[in-house]
Structure 1
Amino acid sequence: MAQQQVEATADNPPAPATQDERPQRSAREVRLVMIGLVITMLLAMLDNLIVGTAMPTIVGDLHGADHLAWVVTSYTLATAAATPIWGKLGDLYGRKGTFITSIVIFLIGSALAGLSQNMNEMIGFRALQGLGAGGLMVGVMSIMGALVSPRERGKYQGLFAAVMALATIGGPLLGGFITDHFSWHWIFYINIPLGAVALAVVVVTLHLPKVTAKAKIDYVGAALLTTGITSLVLLTTWGGHDYGWTSKHIIGLGVLAIASLIGFCYVEARVEEPMLPLGLFKNRDFTVVSIVGFIVGFQMFGGVTFLPQYQQLVQGASATNSGLLLMPMMFGMLVVSLVVGQYVTKTGKYKIFPIIGTCVMGGGALLLSTLGTDTTRLTSAVYMAVLGAGMGFLMQITMLVAQNSVELKDMGVASSTATLFRTIGGSFGVALFGTIYANRMTSTIEAAHLPTSSGNSAELTPALLKTLSPEYRDAIHHAVSNGIHSVFLWAAVISLIAIAASLFLRGLPLRGAGQPAGEGAAEGAALEAPAH
Structure 2
Amino acid sequence: MSHPEIMRALSGLLLGMFTAILSSTIVTNALPRIIADLGGGQSAYTWVVTATLLAMTASMPLWGKLADLYSKKLLIQTSLVIYIAGSLVAGLAQSPAMLIAVRVVQGLGVGGLVGLSQIVLAAMIPPRERGRYSGYLGATFAAATVSGPLIGGLLTDGLGWRWCFYIGVPVALAALVVLQRTLRLPVTRREVRIDWPGALLVSAAVSLLLVWVTLAGDRYAWASWQTAAMVGGSLALAALFLAVEARASDPIIPLRLFRDPTIALASGASLLVGVAMFSGTVFFSQYFQLARGDSATMSGVLTIPLIAGLVLSSTVSGQFITRTGRWKNWLVAGGVLVTAGMGLLGTTRHDTPYVRLALFMALMGLGLGALLQNLVLATQNRVGPRDLGAASSVVAFFRSFGGALGVSALGALLAARVADYTREGVAGLGAGAGGAAQAPEGSIPDPERLPAPLRAVIENAYGHGIGDIFLYAAPTALLALLIILGIKETALRTRL
Deviates more, 1:369-378 or 1:67-76: 369-378
**Which residue pairs with 1:330 in the alignment?**
307
Equivalent of 2:156 in 166, 179, 183: 179
CA contact (8 A) 1:218 1:273 kept: yes
* Residue of structure 1 equivalent to 2:447: 465
Are the counterparts in 2 of residues 106 and 128 from structure 1 also a CA contact under 8 Å? yes
**CA apart distance, 1:93:** 1.9
Q: Say whether the 8 Å CA contact 1:371–1:481 is kept in structure 2.
A: yes
Of 65, 81, 104 in structure 2, the residue corresponding to residue 127 of structure 1 is 104
Runs of 4+ in 1 over 6 A off after TM superposition: none
Which residue of 336, 343, 363 corresponds with 1:386? 363
Cα distance, 1:204 vs. partner?
A: 1.6
Between the aligned partners of 1:216 and 1:399, the Cα distance in structure 2 is 26
Q: Among residues 78, 89, 104, which one is paired with 1:112 in the alignment? A: 89
Whether contact under 8 Å (2:152, 2:297) holds in the other structure is yes
| Aligned equivalent of 2:435 | 451
| Residue matched to 1:148 | 125
- Which residue matches 1:63? 39
Distance 1:304 1:118 in 2: 24
- Residue 255 of structure 1, CA deviation: 0.7
Local SS of the residue matching 1:208: coil
CA distance in 2, matches of 1:491, 1:373: 19
Percent of matched pairs sharing the same residue: 37
> Within 2, Cα distance between the matches of 1:28 and 1:380?
40
SS state at 2:179 partner: helix
Residue 400 of structure 1 pairs with residue 397 of structure 2: no
SS in 2 for 1:454: coil
Q: Give the match for residue 337 of structure 2.
A: 360
| 2:17 paired with 1:35 | no
Equivalences for residues 161-310 of structure 1 within 5 A:
161-310=138-287
CA displacement at 1:200 relative to structure 2: 0.6
- Cα deviation, residue 206, structure 1: 1.5
Find the aligned partners of 1:460 and 1:163 in 2 and give their Cα distance: 32
In structure 1, which of residues 480, 492, 501 is the aligned counterpart of residue 483 of structure 2? 501
* Structure 1 CA distance for aligned equivalents of residues 287 and 420 of structure 2: 17
Question: For the residues of structure 2 that align with 1:325 and 1:46, how far apart are their CA atoms?
Answer: 17
Q: Is 1:510 the equivalent of 2:492?
A: yes
Bigger shift: 181-190 or 466-475?
466-475
Contact 1:77 1:130 in 2 (8 A): yes
The alpha carbon displacement at 1:305 in A equals 0.8
Once the two structures are TM-superposed, the CA of residue 195 in structure 1 deviates from its matched residue by: 0.4
Q: 2:242, 2:444 → 1: CA distance?
A: 44
SS in 1 for 2:27: helix
Question: 8 Å contact 1:454–1:469 — kept in the other structure?
Answer: no
Q: CA deviation at 1:391?
A: 0.5
Farther off after superposition, 326-335 or 90-99:
90-99
Equivalent residue number for residue 492 of structure 1: 474
Partner amino acid for 1:349? Answer: R
For the residues of structure 2 that align with 1:171 and 1:210, how far apart are their CA atoms?
34
CA RMSD of aligned residues (A): 1.4
Q: Which amino acid aligns with 1:53?
A: N
Amino acid aligned to 2:282: T
1:432 aligned partner: 409
Say how many residue pairs are matched: 488
Q: C-alpha separation between the residues in 2 aligned to 1:324 and 1:28?
A: 33
Kept after mapping to 2: 8 A contact 1:238/1:250: no
For structure 2, which runs of at least 5 residues remain unmatched after alignment? 428-433
Distance 2:389 2:315 in 1: 25
TM-score, normalised with respect to structure 1: 0.89
Cα distance in structure 2, aligned partners of 1:333 and 1:102? 26
Are the structure 2 counterparts of residues 317 and 379 from structure 1 closer, same or farther at C-alpha, using a change threshold of 3 Å? same
Letter in 1 for 2:324: T
Q: Partner residue of 1:477?
A: 459
Question: In 2, Cα distance between the equivalents of 1:483 and 1:315?
Answer: 13
Spell out, residue by residue over 1:174-228, the C-alpha distance to the aligned partner (whole angstroms, 9 max, x if none).
1111111110000100111000000011112112223322211111111111111
Task: Quote the Cα distance in structure 1 between the aligned partners of 2:54 and 2:423.
Answer: 32
Work out which of the residue numbers 357, 372, 385 in structure 1 matches 2:349: 372
The amino acid of 2:25's aligned partner reads L
Amino acid at match of 2:8: L
1:45 maps to 21
| 2:444 partner amino acid | L
Are the equivalent residues in 1 in contact too, given 2:50–2:408 (CA < 8 A)? yes
* Gap change, CA 1:313 and 1:457, over 3 Å in 2: farther
Deviation larger for 163-172 or 70-79: 163-172
CA contact (8 A) 1:362 1:491 kept: no
Determine the structure 1 residue equivalent to 2:290. Answer: 313
Residue 431 (structure 2) aligns with? none
Query: Residues of 1 paired with 2:150 and 2:352: CA distance?
Result: 22
Superposition deviation, residue 158 in structure 1: 3.0
Other structure's SS at 2:273 match = helix
Write out per-residue CA displacement over residues 139-198 of structure 1, whole angstroms, 9 at most, x where no aligned residue: 111011000011101221332232123212211111111111110000100111000000
CA distance in structure 1 between the aligned counterparts of 2:234 and 2:449, rounded to whole angstroms:
45
For residue 16 of structure 1, what is the aligned residue in structure 2? Answer: none
Q: TM-score, normalised by structure 2?
A: 0.96
Residue by residue over 1:472-500, the C-alpha shift from the partner in whole angstroms, topping out at 9 and shown as x without a partner, is 11110121022112210111111221011
Q: For the residues of structure 1 that align with 2:441 and 2:180, how far apart are their CA atoms?
A: 47
Question: 1:338 corresponds to which letter in structure 2?
Answer: T
> CA–CA distance in 1 between the matches of 2:3 and 2:413?
50
Give how far 1:452 is off.
4.8
